[in-house]
């Protein structure tokens, strides 16, 4: 039931954004539901907030790279999808870590170590 409420909110947000840039909105919508693959470690409110945040991150990325238009170009779909999916995965892992007082997952530690300011 909780996923249905989050999905309904995402569908409404996507319907509004289709007016602005439909390709980027579709990519961000598919990417932001990436967090549904994780077990429900977060409350409903946090899962909805995560969906909106990752959708906004994906939409902003797609518009930044391919926001020229109209006419809109479909190339904005993939950057929006990737940014929203990555945002939902990273922030779900971080939220679970904070709630359970644990450490970051190994895959996220490896990604963070790639950045030069961490060395």
pTM for the full predicted model: 0.68
Higher pLDDT, 33 or 3: 33
If pLDDT is split at 50, 70 and 90, which confidence band does 37 have?
A: low
Tens-digit pLDDT profile for residues 81-106: 899 988 888 887 777 777 777 777 77
Are 88 and 36 contacting, i.e. CB atoms less than 8 angstroms apart? no
Q: Is 29 strand, coil or helix?
A: helix
CB distance 57 to 108 below 8 Å: no
Instruction: Give the pLDDT score at 25.
Output: 85
Number of domains making up the chain? 1
C-alpha of 54 from chain center: 3
CA distances from residue 30 to 100, 114, 119 in whole angstroms, order as listed = 28, 27, 34
pLDDT at 118 over 70: no
> Domain residues for 18?
2-118
How many residues comprise the chain? Answer: 119
pLDDT of amino acid 91: 80
């Amino acid at each position: 039931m909780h996923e249905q409420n989050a999905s309904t909110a995402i569908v409404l947000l996507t319907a509004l954004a289709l007016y602005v840039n439909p390709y980027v909105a579709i990519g961000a919508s598919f990417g932001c539901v990436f967090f549904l693959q994780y077990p429900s470690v977060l409350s409903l409110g946090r899962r909805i907030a995560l969906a909106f945040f990752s959708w906004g991150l994906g939409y902003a990325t797609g518009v930044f790279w391919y926001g020229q238009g109209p006419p809109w170009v479909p190339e904005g779909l993939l950057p929006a999808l990737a940014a929203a999916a990555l945002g939902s995965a990273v922030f779900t892992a971080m939220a679970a870590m904070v709630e359970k007082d644990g450490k970051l997952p190994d895959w996220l530690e490896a990604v963070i170590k790639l950045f030069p300011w961490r060395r």
